[in-house]
Structure 1
């Protein structure tokens, strides 16, 4: 009789070959899956970086917008009228809340030890030292080693003034709120035309949010309804902070008087944020050329004719360090060196 089937040796050889083929297929599948995961993570980081840069770029381009002209022109022509709480001089913002310091359209806070060329260990912990010192509203929010960028401007939407009635206690202003929506009492607003700008707090609002009393406005100022507009003021701070889950991310903090303001995590997984500022240092008048660049600390100590260098800023360079998944606040990042600015 002839034997049929496989011998034990043949079966073991076939099983071994089958296992090798299965192992090869598994390795191809795992490699493809890992490659897809890396590609997806890279795409997500690139998208996050694009979103962060576009948001910062949009706010920085608006910095110093004061209606018809920019903050530099207002300062040189002495066109400020300031009626904000804490101020004693209608030409100065001294004493006003940090969010209302519109003489500094761009302001920077340099994390100590993070200047160009310095080495910095990112621990992810909140707090640390900055130059100049952080305002109260930002203390305890910013991750160690990351800079803070603050921009101020009059909002892009405006309400046309339809009536302006000055009196001793403050001008009564009526506006067309079709575009902006109702005016809110207690918020900071600005009246502006091509000749002057007045900052004030809406003391009271009536007419369904279309009429407001502008405290102290109407003494030296008068605004023609045909040329004046009402703007809502905007102050935004960018910094790296901790999300509710403990992960680090880039925050966009809309600041208001007293510090009670909404914050939003603009981009998750941001480990560090570094900023350099460029300004025109020509004396006695600016010539339009950016000839100085430095950190927020250098900017704070620089002086030009008529005040600080903040009014001469014409360039902002920012760098972001992102990861697929940021470290938890208080934890540590992998020991890798990454050059930034």
Structure 2
């Protein structure tokens, strides 16, 4: 409040007013400003925490979707050997396999899995705080106890399963000319799109027979050429169907950013691993086996309990994905159910967001 002050100047009375704030008013203004600043800061910090948590959750969800989008169609296509599957005879009686001895999973088998020891239904799993990729002896496949392929030894993290899939991908071009037995080249209507060194399956127009062999020419060429000195044992016409044959492994390994990630690796011919999705902590797989001949799964069992891989008709898989950094307010030590296994976080938990998803897919098998 302005207070009047009285002065006399040469007999004339003047009224003067004091301007500015009093000390009390200044203190009140400072207190109000401080409260407003604290409020804005609190809102900012709260928004920042919410944003980081939302971003971490979105990252884990996106990783889950990517894994499902990649694994589901690959598993569904396992054992889909085109029109040859409709002939009612074993593939090794229909296909002249020039790759014999070089296939990790036999031609007659759609897929094969490997179970990490102690991670099946009813087991308790504690995730490792530091990523570890032990030797192949920690995994079993089938009741015979087949070890993990040596090409994958030292690449797969502990507490996670592995699956290798045999599948065909039809070429997007047609055969353009007749090929006789003894020739080494199949002519196409356009570029094959299949790299040199990859494997192809050629089937006759009536689907009665086929040949599986390694090609030697570039993907940009309009030909499929055998490797020297091999030649074709069958004759082919314009009704011939050509497929790329792949044997692909899927597993969890250590990514380039030192985070666990979903990988795939072409096993025949052996290629370098490809990192697909980062932030995937573990992969658990069960196989649906048909024991009654109904072409439907009667039971879901881990890979080390599968007695006959030819009875597998579907696959159920579960993945755990996580945020790339700590985003929660406090450590989360909760456990997760993954296909009947109790999964506990390392070191009593951390502040990352984690999600678990489950997917089931039937093998297309004989469907063209």
Q: Same fold (TM over 0.5)?
A: yes
**Structure exhibiting the larger radius of gyration computed from Cα positions:** 2
Deviation at 1:326, TM superposition (A): 7.2
Q: CA distance change for structure 1 residues 217 and 270 in 2, over 3 Å: closer, same or farther? A: same
Aligned-partner Cα distance in 2 for 1:182–1:130: 33
On the 8 A contact 1:149/1:237 being kept in 2, the answer is yes
Q: Normalising by structure 2, report the TM-score.
A: 0.74
The aligned counterpart of 1:119 is: 124
- SS for the counterpart of 2:44 is helix
On the 8 A contact 1:64/1:71 being kept in 2, the answer is no
On the 8 A contact 1:271/1:326 being kept in 2, the answer is no
Aligned-partner Cα distance in 1 for 2:79–2:158: 28
Deviation at 1:334, TM superposition (A): 7.3
Name whichever of 1-10 and 24-33 sits farther off.
Answer: 1-10
The aligned counterpart of 1:92 is: none
Deviation at 1:66, TM superposition (A): 1.2
- SS for the counterpart of 1:44 is helix
Q: Does 1:318 align with 2:327?
A: no
Residue by residue, what CA displacement relative to the aligned partner does 1:116-157 show, whole Å, maximum 9, x if unpaired?
221112112112511132101111110111111211111232
Q: Bigger relative contact order, structure 1 or 2, given CA contacts below 8 A and separation 6+?
A: 2
Aligned-partner Cα distance in 1 for 2:192–2:213: 18
The aligned counterpart of 1:198 is: 211
Deviation at 1:235, TM superposition (A): 1.7
The aligned counterpart of 1:241 is: 253
1:29-178 maps to which residues of 2 (within 5 A)? 29-70=44-85, 73-75=88-90, 78-84=93-99, 87=100, 95-98=101-104, 101-123=106-128, 124-127=131-134, 129-132=138-141, 133-157=147-171, 159-161=173-175, 162-167=177-182, 171-176=183-188, 178=190
On the 8 A contact 2:202/2:241 being kept in 1, the answer is yes
Deviation at 1:13, TM superposition (A): 2.9
Deviation at 1:27, TM superposition (A): 0.9
Residue by residue, what CA displacement relative to the aligned partner does 1:277-300 show, whole Å, maximum 9, x if unpaired?
102122xxx32221121111112x
Q: CA distance change for structure 1 residues 182 and 252 in 2, over 3 Å: closer, same or farther? A: closer
- SS for the counterpart of 1:164 is coil
Root-mean-square deviation (CA, aligned residues, Å) is 2.9
- SS for the counterpart of 2:123 is coil
On the 8 A contact 2:215/2:226 being kept in 1, the answer is yes
The aligned counterpart of 2:361 is: none
Unaligned runs of 5+ in 2: 6-16, 142-146, 340-368
Deviation at 1:217, TM superposition (A): 4.4
- SS for the counterpart of 2:174 is strand
Q: Normalising by structure 1, report the TM-score.
A: 0.79
* Residue correspondences, number: 305
Q: Does 1:281 align with 2:279?
A: no
Unaligned runs of 5+ in 1: 88-94, 303-307, 328-332
Deviation at 1:20, TM superposition (A): 1.4
1:208-227 maps to which residues of 2 (within 5 A)? 210=223, 212-213=225-226, 215=230, 217-218=232-233, 222-227=234-239
On the 8 A contact 1:142/1:241 being kept in 2, the answer is yes
Q: CA distance change for structure 1 residues 131 and 229 in 2, over 3 Å: closer, same or farther? A: same
